[in-house]
Chains A and B, each alone.
Chain A
Amino acid sequence: MRAIWKGHLRFSLVTIPIHVYKATRVKGLPLHLLHRPCMSRIKYQYYCPVCERPVSNDELVKAYEYSKGKYVTIEDEELEKLKISSNKVINILYFTGKTEVSPIYFRDAYYLIPQDEPAIEAFSLLRRLLEEKEKVAIAKFTMHQREHIVCIEPLQNILSMRTLYYADEIQDTADLPYSDTRARLEAREMELASILIEHMTRPFDPKEFENGYHKALSELIEAKIGGKEVAVEREIEKRKVLNLMDALKRSIETEKVLLPKKGVVEAKVTKEKRRRRKA
């Protein structure tokens, strides 16, 4: 894993040098579009339907559509001015109970670890106290020129950090087409359902689930790439290198140059050898 951010975690007068790592990885298998007859990657081209011609990047300007067909343009320099420079600090604003922040607010997950040996003590202290007091830290920090609100909590021997949605990014549940009709709940039904729930309760194990589509696509790709012959390829490459080393040695001894040329396969792996390896 590689750290994606390096800076300090600040909590009042205490600053702890930390590294931030991504906690998740998206297992995507991006597919590209090729032109079937010649199998080359197709190229996207900007086209102006009014001028009826392709346009280049230099002719473009960003704009916001504030009403149908009406735009205000925004220059790159103007956007540049809105960006915030990072002060390389994750600033803890306050602490709150660990169940206070609804998971609805959680965005991306990160791991925090101390940067170096001297930072371990302060880091462990904070982690331990959060754990004992069952609290999480609410903090502000700037990454990629944007400000984020984050929630930091202990996770095993490190800290985890979630970026949070802003309040106005969360849809109001009152806007849902549903009103509580105060359905009358029968005691017997409640009891039955309760037994059912108890019966179906067990520890959560994320490992038992897998992305079936991803697995199937991945297998399809693997099968197309092949790879069964790779062991043989590598054997051939190794023979070539051994030959080269051998030729170098012999050249030294005999004072004659005996070097094999690039690309010449001197020793082929024989069928017999392949069979032996399979066995």
Chain B
Amino acid sequence: MLAQTAPYPFDSEEHIFEIKWDGTRCLAFLSKKTRLQNRRLMNITYHYPELDGLYKVVDAKEAILDGELVVFSDGRPNFNLLQRRDHEGSPQKIKQLSKIYPATFVAFDIVYLNGMILTERPLLERKKILKDIVKDSPLILVTDFIKKDGKRYFSLIKEAGLEGIMAKEINSPYLFGKRSKYWLKIKTKGTMVCYVCGYTIGKGERERTFGALLLATKEDNVYLYRGRVGTGFTYERQIELLSLLKSLVCKRPPPLKNFEPFPLRVVWVRPKVRVLVEFREITEKDHLRAPSFKGIVNEV
């Protein structure tokens, strides 16, 4: 079951509100062993050996829990660390990473328990069943929820630096494989697809790649400059971007509106590569505040 997007937070007696956890969506099939399955129905159990004992910390013969795999650092979900866990294929590295950046299963729903299919039960009842069978263990935590005060909860979540909130209808059933309006996600940050029109030369450990990407969006005949993004990439991603950009290098920037030169060397590229960036807000000059790289768009 997937959520639809809502643009703004709201208050409602019909909904509960909970943290939107920034991780990998995951169904946990628990019996005499643990099997983890991602959104694309792939078995990802072997990526998370530290969660093998998940079945032991849930008081059930058989259960299917819905939740999110999260790697915490500093008391917050760290999506970059989680992605490193997700992408690692070598068994030794998986084992090592599982010790350095262990994942936690954050449970928010239950769909099956000891022969009973629970999908038709109202959400709050499922939540109660879930809470009752999960034992206290570092492997798992059950997400909290609050009633009614969606707006205020959202502003607190934003302040806490979390990804967003989920609003879920109190009496709604669980719908397998559906994207339903019973569940709504409201993100604290905006996203935008931008063209890369240049990059700055990197320093220190970024010497071999780049410092930041210069972003712009297209407006009729000109490009509107959106600022620079210098975080959110892994080293591999940077290498990949650089190889794409190297073939597009040119002498002059495209016609750029709102661009103010800064004292760093810029390599201009033809605006072909599109990237998805996340940002806190749009400034008065139409620049993105605190942008962070999320992915290359052309490949999706």
A 239-254 binary contact with B (CB < 8 Å = 1; else 0): 0111111101101100
Given that A27-B92, A252-B149, A252-B152 are contacting pairs, would A241 and B72 also be in contact in the complex, using a CB cutoff of 8 Å? yes
Q: A254 to chain B: closest CB distance in Å?
A: 11
Chain-A contact segment, one of B99-107, B173-181, B192-200: B99-107
Which residues of chain A from 215 to 237 have a CB within 8 Å of any chain B CB? 218, 221-222, 225-227, 230-231, 233-235, 237
Given that A230-B102, A252-B153, A259-B156 are contacting pairs, would A225 and B96 also be in contact in the complex, using a CB cutoff of 8 Å? yes
Which residues of chain B from 48 to 85 have a CB within 8 Å of any chain A CB? 72-76
A: interface residue count bin: 20 to 34
Judge if B143 is at the interface, Cβ distance under 8 Å.
yes
- Is B90 a contact partner of A243 (Cβ separation < 8 A)? no
Of all chain B residues, the one with the shortest Cβ separation from A264 is B75
A 185-219 binary contact with B (CB < 8 Å = 1; else 0): 00000000000000000000000000000000010
Q: A223 vs B75: C-alpha distance in the bound complex, in angstroms?
A: 27
Judge if A238 is at the interface, Cβ distance under 8 Å.
yes
Which residues of chain A from 171 to 192 have a CB within 8 Å of any chain B CB? none
- Is A244 a contact partner of B75 (Cβ separation < 8 A)? yes
- Is A29 a contact partner of B92 (Cβ separation < 8 A)? yes
- Is B161 a contact partner of A262 (Cβ separation < 8 A)? yes
Q: A147 vs B160: C-alpha distance in the bound complex, in angstroms?
A: 55
User: What is the total of A-B residue contacts with beta carbons within 8 Å?
Assistant: 81
Q: A230 vs B153: C-alpha distance in the bound complex, in angstroms?
A: 32
Chain A residues near B72 (CB-CB < 8 A): 234, 237-238, 240-241
Judge if B19 is at the interface, Cβ distance under 8 Å.
yes
Judge if B91 is at the interface, Cβ distance under 8 Å.
yes
Judge if A260 is at the interface, Cβ distance under 8 Å.
yes
Given that A25-B90, A225-B99 are contacting pairs, would A244 and B73 also be in contact in the complex, using a CB cutoff of 8 Å? no
Q: A27 vs B92: C-alpha distance in the bound complex, in angstroms?
A: 8
Interface centre among A2, A25, A233, A242 (most CB of B within 10 A): A233
Judge if B138 is at the interface, Cβ distance under 8 Å.
yes
- Is B156 a contact partner of A230 (Cβ separation < 8 A)? no
Q: A112 to chain B: closest CB distance in Å?
A: 19
Chain B residues near A233 (CB-CB < 8 A): 102
Given that A225-B96, A252-B146, A262-B161 are contacting pairs, would A27 and B91 also be in contact in the complex, using a CB cutoff of 8 Å? yes
B: interface residue count bin: 20 to 34
Of all chain A residues, the one with the shortest Cβ separation from B99 is A227
- Is B100 a contact partner of A230 (Cβ separation < 8 A)? yes
Which residues of chain A from 240 to 278 have a CB within 8 Å of any chain B CB? 240-246, 248-249, 251-252, 257, 259-260, 262-264
Interface centre among A29, A252, A263 (most CB of B within 10 A): A252
B 122-139 binary contact with A (CB < 8 Å = 1; else 0): 000000000000000010
Judge if B141 is at the interface, Cβ distance under 8 Å.
yes
- Is B75 a contact partner of A260 (Cβ separation < 8 A)? yes
Given that A252-B156, A262-B74 are contacting pairs, would A221 and B102 also be in contact in the complex, using a CB cutoff of 8 Å? no
Additional A-B contacts beyond A245-B19, A245-B143 (16; CB < 8 A): A2-B89, A25-B91, A27-B91, A225-B96, A225-B99, A227-B99, A237-B73, A237-B104, A238-B104, A240-B75, A241-B104, A248-B19, A249-B144, A252-B152, A257-B159, A262-B75
Could you jot down 29 A-B contacts, CB within 8 Å?
Answer: A2-B89, A25-B90, A25-B91, A218-B92, A222-B96, A225-B96, A227-B99, A230-B99, A230-B102, A231-B138, A234-B72, A237-B104, A238-B72, A238-B138, A240-B74, A241-B72, A241-B104, A242-B141, A243-B75, A246-B144, A248-B146, A248-B153, A248-B157, A249-B144, A249-B146, A251-B156, A252-B152, A257-B159, A264-B75
Show the binding face of B for A, using Cβ within 8 Å.
19, 72-76, 89-92, 95-96, 99-100, 102, 104, 138, 141, 143-144, 146, 149, 152-153, 156-157, 159-161
